[in-house]
Amino acid sequence: MKFSWNILNYFINLNSINFKDFTNKLILSGFEIEEIENQLTTKDKIINLDITANRKDIHCIFNMAKEISIVCNLPLKIPILNTNSKYNNKIKRKNNFITKSNVIRYIQINTIHSITNDESPIWLKNHLQSYDIKSSYLLHDIQSYIKLKWGHEFFIYDIKENNSKIINTNLLKIQKYKEDNKKEKILYINKELINFNNYHIFKEKKFNYKTRNIILCFICYKEKSKVIKNLEENLENAHYETIQMIQTFSKGIINVSHKYFNDNKNLSFKYELELKQDYIKKILGPIRIKNKKFLSNKQIFYSLKQLKIEPKYIKKHKNFRVLIPEYRNKDIYRNIDLIEEIGRIYGFNNFLNKIPKYNQKGKISSRSFYIKKIRNTLKILGFNEVINSSLTNKIINNDIINIYNPLTKEHKFLRTNIINNLIKNYQNNNKQKNTRTEIFEIGQIFYRESNNKYIEETHLGILTKNKGFIKENWSNSSKSITLFHIKGIFEIFFQKLSCNIIWENLDLRNYKSNLKQIGKILNQKKVIEIYNKNNRNLIGIFGELNYRLNDIKYKGSNNTYILELNLNELIKTIEFNKHLKYNIRSDSIYPSVIRDISINITKEQKVCEIEKLIKEQNNEFLESIELINAYEYNKNNNINKGNKSICLRIIYRSKNKTLNTKDIKKVDENIEKILNKFKLLQSSNIKSKS
């Protein structure tokens, strides 16, 4: 937008400021100067500024002068006439027709007759020319000039048809549209005078150079109205200068002015902001001085007052209350906007431009900490992390979640496990003849429960296939990784995390759990479940991939092992090492007594249950129980078919003495009790099965 240096000097004395310093201040206050034109005919400088979108209030020379007065802290040279003066408020009209209006706040009407001159003065033509506006005739040029200078668009209506030199205000009325009450127009003698629904009312001129008698209408609109943003603040000044120019140059006769006010409180839009003193200092930072001081309350108050707003400092709450004027409610409606204005007035160049250093470190959640630790531990153990999409086209689970309007057919469902993606990664590696695949992924899985409740969980999936994992000696060829090797690696993984878990056989009777669905793609003879030792909640499933499935068609696909865990449940098993729980004691210096016992058990019976049974005898000398041998009977053996024989080594030792004959006899009696108790338990199991 263009601004005249001479007209700016009409509002504010800029002679005391160097022009270069003036332009620098404009740039620092947020106005970009695109061009400066020197007008030789008018001996003027035209400053072309790029006004930002949030400063729509800078649409005329007066508003720009007011902004310069704030930035440069200079007073305006001319007084601002207020429409809300005591004199104006005492005026009461018989026909205050605008009280019914939702658009008009203030209106001023004049009739002017006997206009004799339609030629504009040379200075006015030159001024309009500098703004690239073509001069036509006097009334039109005055209208353009007032708009540039004061930001007001006033309405001129030719009243030659009425053959009257005055207007009867009793015949003015507001008419609202039936379809929309917010759309209005002013009627005079039941004829349309102004239509507020027509946004081009000032482009369609209702007067020309032959016009001799006119109605002159200045209107201040409701702030949120989209018609015209005429400011009430300088309306009287704009009206006064318009009357003076028409009277001086057109030689017309001015009749009495009619003013109408709308007392509707809904038309006022001033609002208040509360600004914390500490928040201002935190955002702006310290001033450029040696001691790095912050803005004082006095400096903040002075800057706010310089902005021509109404600040109040509340000492009790240590904050500023500021009443934002209507013409700034488009760009100052948040606390940060007001702080920006304070910085702009004080000068951003006066603040330190360095980001402060903070010694305080941010906090990380325990979940994020352990996920990071799990990643690092797996990488140390030799696994590589992969990332796959949560969208897939193949689901082995019935509790699938469909995607509405999928981009492709390959991304129709949300995945219910991590393993399917890892199998695809393994297949791709196999195609590329990569014999070693040791990968893991941490990601989200989704499924639907029986009550149609949607569940999202974070899972850890691991897949390993390594044909050259171990070599007994240099002369032999490498061997593939086995179930026991990978189980040992996972035990190290759980030990490093301090997880309190137990391994148990897969329960084939229950596939309700989302994790247990993975068991369907595993070799049922080589699959183990992982549980939380404290609450017996299922954490994950581990086993050998069933290479006979259609998804795995490559030779040598056996010895491929997978593990999938619920990460949140795994984190719950992690125990904190509190060293105060541990007691330091020396090992016994006395010899031990060893007893090996052989027991026949069924396939369903677990060694851990037998160990528990032995410990229940409460023998004070019992030190350890160890499984040293296991034998499974041949299928052709009809007597012990389906059973197996195990050998347990039980070690007895005293902490205080060497075991004597009496003590050893007691040990033997204890073993006999164990065997008898186990025989009773075994016979009861056989009877229950039969």
Is residue 426 a part of any domain in this protein? yes
pLDDT recorded at residue 512: 56
Is residue 80 a part of any domain in this protein? no
Say if residue 11's pLDDT is above 70.
yes
CATH number for the domain spanning 91: value is 3.50.40.10
Number of domains in the chain: 5
Whether residues 482 and 397 fall in one domain: yes
User: What residues have CB less than 8 Å from 193, skipping those under 6 apart?
Assistant: 155, 157, 172, 185, 186, 187, 215, 217
Percent of the chain with pLDDT over 90: 14
Whether residues 168 and 225 fall in one domain: yes
Say if residue 90's pLDDT is above 80.
no
pLDDT recorded at residue 550: 46
H or E segment and range at residue 108? strand 104-113
Say if residue 186's pLDDT is above 80.
yes
Whether residues 308 and 415 fall in one domain: no
pLDDT recorded at residue 86: 43
Is residue 114 a part of any domain in this protein? yes
Whether residues 398 and 494 fall in one domain: yes
Higher-pLDDT residue of 356 and 593 is: 593
pLDDT recorded at residue 501: 92
**Strand segments (E) across 533-642:** 538-545, 561-566, 593-602, 622-632
Whether residues 278 and 252 fall in one domain: no
Mean pLDDT of 385-393: 90
- Angle at which helix 19-28 crosses helix 61-71, to 10 degrees, equals 90
How far is the C-alpha of 104 from the C-alpha of 119, rounded, in Å? 33
Q: Report the b/e string of 215-234 with b at 16+ CB within 10 A.
A: bbbbbbbbbebebbbbbbbb
Whether residues 471 and 495 fall in one domain: yes
DSSP labels for 338-403?
HHHHHHHHH-GGGB--SPPP--PPPP--HHHHHHHHHHHHHHHTT-EE----SEES--S-SS-EEP
For the record, the structure tokens of 575 come out as: 């125990």
pLDDT recorded at residue 688: 35
pLDDT recorded at residue 507: 67
pLDDT level of residue 461 (50, 70, 90 thresholds): very high
Say if residue 161's pLDDT is above 60.
no
Higher-pLDDT residue of 87 and 434 is: 434
Is residue 338 a part of any domain in this protein? yes
pLDDT recorded at residue 74: 86
CATH number for the domain spanning 330: value is 3.30.56.10
Q: pLDDT tens digit string along 645-662?
A: 888 898 888 888 888 888
Whether residues 372 and 318 fall in one domain: no
pLDDT recorded at residue 226: 46
How far is the C-alpha of 654 from the C-alpha of 80, rounded, in Å? 106
Whether residues 59 and 119 fall in one domain: no
pLDDT level of residue 541 (50, 70, 90 thresholds): very high
Say if residue 625's pLDDT is above 60.
yes
Q: Which residues pair with 79 in a beta bridge?
A: none
For the record, the structure tokens of 104 come out as: 């008009």
Whether residues 252 and 386 fall in one domain: no
pLDDT recorded at residue 95: 56
Is residue 154 a part of any domain in this protein? yes
Q: pLDDT tens digit string along 35-77?
A: 888 888 778 888 888 888 778 788 888 888 888 888 888 888 8
pLDDT recorded at residue 206: 67
pLDDT recorded at residue 444: 93
Q: Report the b/e string of 274-303 with b at 16+ CB within 10 A.
A: ebebeebbeebbebeeeeeebbeeeebebb
pLDDT recorded at residue 386: 95
Structural domain ending residue among the three candidates 22, 38, 71 = 71
Sheet of 391-392: strand order equals 391-392, 413-414, 401-402
Is residue 192 a part of any domain in this protein? yes
CATH number for the domain spanning 678: value is 3.30.70.380
Whether residues 290 and 307 fall in one domain: yes
How far is the C-alpha of 19 from the C-alpha of 40, rounded, in Å? 17
User: Cβ atoms within 10 A of the Cβ of 265, count?
Assistant: 6
Structural domain ending residue among the three candidates 17, 40, 71 = 71
Q: Which of 382, 304, 391, 394 is nearest to 344 (CA)?
A: 304
Mean pLDDT of 328-352: 85
Percent of the chain with pLDDT over 70: 85
Is residue 377 a part of any domain in this protein? yes
Say if residue 358's pLDDT is above 50.
yes
How far is the C-alpha of 225 from the C-alpha of 103, rounded, in Å? 7
Mean model confidence pLDDT for the chain: 81
Ranges 279-283, 333-337, 456-460, most confident? 456-460
Whether residues 94 and 234 fall in one domain: yes
For residue 391, what are the domain limits? Answer: 366-572
pLDDT recorded at residue 89: 47
Is residue 46 a part of any domain in this protein? yes
- The 3-state DSSP class for residue 230 equals coil
Structural domain ending residue among the three candidates 19, 37, 71 = 71
pLDDT level of residue 422 (50, 70, 90 thresholds): very high
Whether residues 227 and 92 fall in one domain: yes
CATH number for the domain spanning 46: value is 3.30.56
- The 3-state DSSP class for residue 145 equals helix
Mean pLDDT of 515-527: 81
